[in-house]
Amino acid sequence: MFGRAVFPAAFGLLLGGAIPVAFAADFTVKPVTIPEMKAVFGQVESRTVVPARARIGGTIASIGVTEGSMVTEGAVIGRIVDDKLALKIQAAEARAQQSNSQLTKAKADLDRAKLLVAKGVTSPAALDDAQSNYDVAVNQLAADQADAAVARQQNDEGAILAPATGRVLTVPVTLGSVVLDGETIARVASGGYYLRLSLPERHAVAIHEGASVLIGGRGLSTTDSGAAKVLRPGRIAKVYPEISNGLVTADVEVSDIGDYFVGERTLVSIPIGTRNALAVPPAAVETRHGLDTVRLASGDVVSVILGEHFASNGDARVEILTGLKAGDVVAVPDAKQ
């Protein structure tokens, strides 16, 4: 144990200068329970990856997205062209026109047969034949029009549609590529992102669903002190019950993870236990000439060694490793001074 370095009040004035300081309140040092955090790598994953598929076979005539593009469900992201479909449409429309002409003639024959039967010039059998020919012409025209509609629909299905709202991960085809019906044109990550963690199995019993975690900044960046930058809080949403290769897997939900790449890694601090520590408000600590000091209510100045910063019941605290003991009363300077 290090001995506590206590400076008299007069020496404290010499160390910190003769500037008077106003104190807002006294703070009694007592043990608090803080979480024991472990930094691990979390990998960004997409909840769903949906392929945008070709609905017809043909040649890629246009591609409107690249890797990383944001798309909206139903948006046209490319087009496939099959030259045979244009000929098929022309042939179907020509048959429909022919059937329409036959229908016109059958209608005229039917009207003539009705008139002749009414005058008693021809037999009812002739009227029945004319009616039958007319019905056949009507049905043939409907069939040919349906064939033309199918051909036009196939041509319209050359448009490649985004299957979901999200970000395009890969586009495995290029302009001019020949693709088959059902082939993947692009893969879209949708449904939001989450972080997947892998921890040593010795921590399996310490982690649980619903625990709060801290997500580090993008690019594994750190602050000037060397600590990981905190981007935002998260929550352990799922702990998988199987241990593989000595690792337990857990998923972390983040409200808005931003524009991370799928597969990108970032630091995540997760609670693996708790410990007791002494802590004071950060405002109670003064740093002068490289020394961290705390002023006691008695007026003495105590040299301390600081630990990590954390929040206790919503209030900021800094851990005191040495220099204070439980029950000490610390003077906290007025923040307004």
pLDDT digits (tens, 9 = 90+) for 196-240: 988 888 888 888 888 888 887 765 444 444 444 556 788 888 888
Q: How far is CA 179 from CA 63, 85, 182, in A?
A: 13, 15, 8
83-156 architecture in CATH?
Answer: Orthogonal Bundle (1.10)
Collapse the DSSP code of 257 into the 3-class scheme (helix H, G, I; strand E, B; otherwise coil) and give the result.
coil
pLDDT digits (tens, 9 = 90+) for 12-60: 444 444 444 445 578 888 888 887 888 888 888 888 889 999 999 999 9
Say if residues 194 and 262 touch (Cβ distance below 8 Å): no
- Give the pair of three-digit tokens for residue 305: 């060694």
pTM for this entry: 0.55
Collapse the DSSP code of 264 into the 3-class scheme (helix H, G, I; strand E, B; otherwise coil) and give the result.
coil
Q: Determine the Cα–Cα distance for residues 58 and 78; give it in Å rounded to an integer.
A: 12
- 139-178 in b/e form (b: 16+ CB < 10 A) is ebbeebbebbeebeebbebbebbbbbebbbbbbebeeeee
pLDDT digits (tens, 9 = 90+) for 297-318: 888 888 999 988 877 777 888 9
Looking at residue 89, its amino acid is: I
Extents of the domains making up the chain: 83-156
Query: Checking phi first, is residue 182 left (phi over 0); if not, alpha (psi -120 to 50) or beta?
Result: left
Say if residues 54 and 186 touch (Cβ distance below 8 Å): no
